Amino acid sequence: MSFVFFLTLSLVGLLSLESTVSVRHWQWAAESRVNTLGNEDQVTNLPGQPDINFKHYAGYVTVNKENGRALFYWFYEATTDPEQKPLVLWLNGGPGCSSVGYGATQEIGPFIVDSDGLGLKYNPYSWNREANMLFLESPVGVGFSYSNTTSDYNKLGDDFTANDAYTFLHMWFLKFPSYKARTFYIAGESYAGKYVPELAEFIYDKNKDPSFYINLKGILLGNPETSDAEDWRGLVDYAWSHAIISDELHNIISESCNFESNDTWSNDDCNQGVEELLGQYKEIDIYSLYTSVCIGNSATTDEKSTQITFTYNSKMMPRIMGGYDPCLDDYAKAFYNRPDVQTALHVSDGQQLRKWTICNEKMYHDWVDSKSSVIPIYKKLIAAGLRIWIYSGDTDGRVPVLSTRYSLGSLGLRITKAWRPWYHQKQVSGWFQEYEGLTFATFRGAGHAVPIFKPSNSLTLFASFLLGETLPSAR
């Protein structure tokens, strides 16, 4: 066993979920000895990879040695001047869905899985043109991330996820110490609308101790779940306003469903009404109202991609899977289950493979801790001076623009720049409004995962966010 490997195991063993506070005992002087550890994770032979001019790394970071709990990451350096650009962590939601399968491979990473599930295409609008991008499969049980302790999977929830993500960051900085003091942002979409603020709050609180310090400057959220009551109300009103449900059904749900109640689903009329609404959405892609669903599967199985699961014992939003290209989920599944791909990404030896799925359905059902609202965290982060931007694709029925507007309205923020269009390539890209401490923007004609629909536009918004500049408001 080499000294470097032994040192890695020793550092990894310093933390467990139950004793996160032990971070203060870390000896950052060890950075000089582990400065090259990240090189062990450099990806050099990824099958089908296009020619690139930047480095990328993938592998595991152990967040709890005792339980054998490890999170999988994929990190792409910026295409130019990586040493001068910020670090951005991207999280997808679910809970239970992969940031590698969605964010990195379908949306904002430099490689998009090809339609045969065998190769990769270069994404000219990858966000690593503007920042160093770190994608994390979180929590354990998502994608390649795992635990050797079965009981860990019975504890999964918002707090567990934030703790492990925070531990991951500190351990990752030991692998890549040059990023330890780098300007840092967290971004994500969907259920990461809860993950991201929760992790940001965790970092903010721990930063009061200098030995914990992470240079967090802001968060960026796309079509985010924010407040259960407002998210449900927005889903219902959006379905009605976009002719998915009838006036009569809308009235029934509005009159019988109290989404702010702890026993919303004890009302039979409410249950039946919501069931009928979700039944209508089974016919189309709720993530993108005006695009096709995946009929049949050219890459793997004959399963339909669009699924809706609704449980009455939880106020959590229903799990719905789909997207555009509607079959991209299947292409990703075919790609990441290849032995040569898993070997290249340092996941397996190519013989003992890890079964990869884009979403873990069981995790959604077993989720033990979901905050009903992160609005109080918003208020805390705004008061702390963090940059907060929220964007919303306006053809998403899953976490529709109405849900986000209802949640933002509850903040009662003072408007500093009134509602107006923003432009991209001389066309209206959407509308935006600036508040004291927060910016909200829409994307015209984009579904739930905005960068899939508007890759160039979303890159423009991302660049503006990093610079803290107002979106282009003139043609």
For the stretch 180-210, pLDDT in tens is 999 999 999 999 999 999 999 999 999 999 8
Look at residue 166 and give its three-state secondary structure. Answer: helix
What's the pTM? Answer: 0.88
Q: For position 37, what pLDDT does the model report?
A: 61
Q: Which percentage of the chain shows pLDDT scores above 70?
A: 84
pLDDT at residue 94 in the model: 87
Q: Which domains does the chain have, with CATH numbers?
A: 25-226+371-467 (3.40.50.1820)
Q: Is the Cβ–Cβ distance between 443 and 392 less than 8 Å?
A: yes
pLDDT by residue (tens digit) across 281-318? Answer: 989 989 899 988 776 544 444 344 444 455 544 455 55
So what's the pLDDT on residue 263?
A: 86
Per-residue pLDDT, averaged over 389-413, amounts to 97
For residue 76, give the 3-state DSSP assignment: strand
Distance separating alpha carbons of residues 17 and 19, to the nearest angstrom: 6
pLDDT per position as a tens digit, 72-91: 999 999 999 999 999 999 99
Tokens of 27: 């000896």
Which stretches does DSSP call E strand in 115-254?
A: 120-122, 132-137, 146-147, 184-189, 216-222
Q: From CA 264, how far away is CA 233, in angstroms rounded?
A: 12
Q: What is the pLDDT of residues 216-253, one digit of tens each?
A: 999 999 999 999 999 999 999 999 999 999 999 999 99
Rounded CA-CA distance 53/75 in Å is 14
The end-to-end CA distance of the chain, in Å, is 61
By mean pLDDT, which of 66-70, 360-364, 421-425 is the weakest?
360-364
Q: What is the pLDDT of residue 27?
A: 37
Number of H helices, E strands in the chain: 14, 15
Dihedral sign of CA atoms 128, 130, 131, 137 in order: negative
Q: Which residues are catalytic?
A: 190, 396, 448
Q: How high is the pLDDT of residue 322?
A: 41
Nearest to 262 by CA among 309, 194, 315: 315
Q: Residue 119's pLDDT is what?
A: 84
Beta carbons of 247 and 254 less than 8 angstroms apart: no
Q: Give the Cα separation of 43 and 63 in Å (integer).
A: 22
Please give the single-letter amino acid code of residue 271: N
Tokens 């390649």 belong to 144
Q: What is the mean pLDDT of the chain?
A: 87
Q: How far apart are CA 88 and CA 128, in angstroms?
A: 9
pLDDT tens, position by position, 3-58: 333 334 334 343 333 334 333 333 333 333 334 567 899 999 999 999 999 999 99
Confidence at 442, pLDDT banded by 50, 70, 90: very high
Biggest CA-to-CA distance, the chain: 70
Confidence of residue 121 (pLDDT cuts 50, 70, 90): very high
